[in-house]
Structure 1
Amino acid sequence: MKKIFSIILLCGALHIQAQDTVKNDVNHMSTGSNLIKTDTRTRYKTILINGVHVFYREAGSTSAPVILLLHGFPSSSRMFNTLLPLLADRYHLIAPDYPGFGNSEMPPAADFKYTFDHLGEFIGDFTIALGLTKYSLYVQDYGGPIGFRLVLAHPEKITSIIIQNAVSHEQGLSPLWTTRRAFWNDSKSNESSIIKNFSSAEATRGRHVGNNPEPDLINPDYWTDELAWLNKPGVLQIQLDLFYDYKNNLPFYLKFQDWMRKFQPRLLVVWGKYDPSFTVAGAEAYKKDVPNAEIHLLNAGHFALDESAQEIAGYIRAFLK
């Protein structure tokens, strides 16, 4: 009888101890781990900037260090879908669609100045409206000349720069730019060629696949969706305006190079080496201006996040920590 009573007492003690252990573990989870508390979901928002409704994606804690992500052509903030959840536990991520792109409002070309100078000013106003006073800048393609204008206008706000397939040196422009240069010199005579150059099914697929030896790794939804967007009413004229204005980025490159040489920013370059538009020489050129720049060449294309989001996220985490 005593033996049975002892066993009952022992079982009761173990039960109480187990309850205390679970209780302590739960308390630890609710108060001791920031990672469990962090909401890494992406939120989809709209804000009115200078009379234009601007769509943007936002993820991460508003108290975390900010990364502003600027997309390229003919994409939108959607290109960052795979990257945002990989960084949102540590950073406050904001990725807008420019006017005329993605889910942002598309003012007609007759009513809105689609130039890189204007888009740079516009995104500057966007950052002011969101109260962004310090941030790292991630730029890709068109995000380069737009973001670099932000840097020159407000260098005090920029803590570091992450460049992904965005040139600021002419040697980074591939032979595909021969047609585009001809368009700059004589837009009317070369309009049909430039339209094919940027809006055909072949060109749209090529921007994603490039020279990648494993094209079956890339989701075709990326370029079929972009092709449908390029054929929406009003988009063609907007993109022609921006393609023509791109010629003004070439002299701007020199200004940005001067700034880099003078101020030596913290600079990370991650570059898809299968890019048909921007060559590896464009990535390596940054070392001339910023010798301490960190450069990584990836087995990826122009939209390197298509194939290498995990790898890029790892480089960003190591660079910013």
Structure 2
Amino acid sequence: MSIDFRELPDLAVRTLGGAVVYANDEAFAARENLISAGPSVFDPSSFGHKGKVYDGWETRRRREAGHDEAIVRLGAAGVVKGVVIDTSWFKGNYPPEASVDGLCLDGHPSVDELVGHEGWQPLVPPQAIKGDAENPFEVVGDAATRRYTHVRLRIHPDGGVARLRVHGQAIADPSVVDALGVVDLAAAENGATMIDSSNRFYGSSTNLLLPGPVRSMGEGWETARRRDDGNDWVHVALAAEGHVRVAELDTSYFLHNAPGWASLRGRRAGGEWFELLARTALQPDTRHRFVLGDTPAADEVRLDIHPDGGMARLRLFGSLTDEGRAELGRRW
């Protein structure tokens, strides 16, 4: 199934552990804003000592040839399928062109190592971009199959960018997974992705796979109110094939709009669904943990909520099968 790359996790977002480790200039607005969660906001009356306050990254007007750049360490290293260069609110001060490069450098490299490294590979060649707009670019060819730990945004020649979204699939380090033994097979940082969902009216279903507890209802997945006899659901591709032993269904912050019930099913891709968790009542604003026992191997899981509502996180703790471990190694 082909999906819009923007439905994949944002590997750069701060809530996944991303960081903007370098920018050659941030005279008007701080580089850290590039990877903030949520859309950029704008207050027309907000001015500071440096001028208009923008929720983004903005450099000074260049008076010489060249370009400005920022380097982002991805919160989860992985394959990049597309990027969004968002210039929201930058109308007369956005860069006319931008490009994005990727680098795979494990460990904890210094800024000097990153800036001067010769291994940067083009993900998006210089492209014209629009002001006050989301500018999406799909990564194609060999670049869309490689693992990256860092990305570099270059703007030509200067200006402001509100957000940089780097959508893709994380690839977990097999040695770390082996050392941990039990891992969250539904975690985006381990490589899990959302295949599909019935509804994402108030919040993206991908939020279910993000790390850490939510800080508000807006950081979870919430559907529109159903007016029929059906129910809402999400279909998740696990990080790799494994046995799910414990399921955590978290409705934190969902007080009057949590689902009444939920159930879980698993399968190997293309096979028959089998039951992991029978339809079970849920409570509002609660982290529910269910021991599933000895379950068959699965690489896909479907969560059904009845009839609708919102959830904060989905955690599926378990261990990899031999095939799952081998597949993770091949990706790495």
TM-score of the two chains, using structure 2 as the length reference: 0.23
Structure with greater helix share of residues: 1
Answer with 1 or 2: which has the greater Rg.
Answer: 1
Whose strand proportion is higher, 1 or 2? 2
TM-score, length-scaled by structure 1: 0.23
